[in-house]
């Protein structure tokens, strides 16, 4: 990841996002960790394959 310019990732609980924000998944519970794991696997796949991500143009 360093070669691609990614130095790390910051993961934190920013609190509730407002009255319409969902209450789940709770920070660091199993469902939350599964979501993060899926996200990181997607990021690694994109970086390792050197293909544009979903928001990349070109």
pLDDT of residue 51: 58
Determine the pLDDT at residue 23: 77
The vertex-26 CA angle with 20 and 22, nearest 5°, equals 15
Per-residue pLDDT of the chain (58 residues; tens, 9 = 90+): 667 777 777 777 777 777 887 777 788 889 988 988 998 888 888 877 765 556 655 4
Domain ranges of the chain: 24-51
Please state whether the predicted TM-score (pTM) of the whole model is above 0.85: no
pLDDT of residue 56: 56
Q: How far is CA 10 from CA 7, 20, 43, 50, in A?
A: 10, 24, 14, 22
User: What is the predicted pLDDT for the residue at 58?
Assistant: 47
3-state secondary structure of 16: coil
């Amino acid at each position: 990841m360093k070669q691609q310019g990614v130095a790390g990732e910051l993961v934190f609980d920013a609190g509730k996002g407002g009255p319409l924000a969902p209450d789940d998944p709770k920070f660091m519970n199993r469902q939350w960790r599964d979501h993060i794991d899926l996200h990181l696997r997607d990021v690694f796949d994109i970086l390792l394959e050197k293909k544009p991500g979903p928001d990349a143009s070109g």
